[in-house]
Amino acid sequence: MRSIRTFKTFLAVVKHGSFAAAGHAIGLTPAAIGLQIRGFEEELNQQVFDRTARSVVLNTAGRKLVPAIEDLVQRYEAITTGTDTDELSGTVVMGALISALMGSFADALWTIKKQYPRLEVRLLAGQSDDFTRKVAHGELDGAVVIRSPHALPPSLIWTPLYREPMVLIAPRRPHFDLPDDPLEVLRHCPFIRFDKSTWTGYLVSEVLRQCSVSPTDAMELNSFEAIMEIVRQGFGMAIVPRLSNVDWSRDRGLKIIPLPCVVIERDVGLLERTSHLRTGFTDAIKQYFIAHNVRTRR
Looking at residue 85, its pLDDT comes to 45
Q: Is the pLDDT of residue 19 over 70?
A: yes
Report phi then psi at 62, rounded to 5.
-65, -40
Give the residue-averaged pLDDT of 238-249.
Answer: 83
| 296: pLDDT strictly greater than 50 | no
Answer yes or no: is pLDDT of 134 > 90. no
Amino acid at 229: E
Does residue 99 surpass a pLDDT of 60?
yes
Helices (H) and strands (E) in the chain, counts: 11, 11
What is the spatial distance between Cα 168 and Cα 36, in angstroms, rounded to a whole number?
56
The full set of domain ranges for the chain reads: 4-81, 92-298
pLDDT at 144: 94
CATH 3.40.190.10 fits 4-81, yes or no: no
Q: Are 157 and 272 in contact (CB under 8 A)?
A: yes
Judge if 4-81 and 92-298 fold alike in CATH terms. Answer: no
Is this prediction's pTM over 0.85? no
Output the average pLDDT for the chain: 86
Q: Which runs of E-coded beta strand occur in the chain?
A: 49-51, 56-58, 90-96, 119-125, 142-146, 156-171, 190-194, 216-221, 238-241, 254-257, 265-273
What's the pLDDT at 128? Answer: 85
Confidence of residue 297 (pLDDT cuts 50, 70, 90): very low
Q: What is the mean pLDDT of residues 230-240?
A: 96
pLDDT band at 295 (very low <50, low <70, confident <90, very high): low
pLDDT in tens, 102-114: 777 888 888 998 8
Contacts of 252 (CB under 8 A, 6+ apart): 172
Domain 92-298 in CATH 3.40.50.620: no
**Average pLDDT for residues 31-48, to the nearest whole number?**
90
Instruction: Characterize 46-71 residue by residue with b for buried, 16 or more Cβ atoms within 10 angstroms of its Cβ, and e for exposed.
Output: ebbbeeeeeebebeeebeebbeebbe
pLDDT at 298 over 60: no
What's the pLDDT band for 203 if we cut at 50, 70, 90? very high
- Taking the mean position of all CA atoms in its chain, how far away is CA 38? 34
Percent of the chain with pLDDT over 70: 93
pLDDT digits (tens, 9 = 90+) for 151-194: 888 889 999 998 889 999 999 999 999 999 999 999 999 999 99
> Helix 128-136 vs helix 199-211: angle between axes, to the nearest 10 degrees?
140
From the list 13, 52, 55, the residue with the least C-alpha distance to 35 is 13
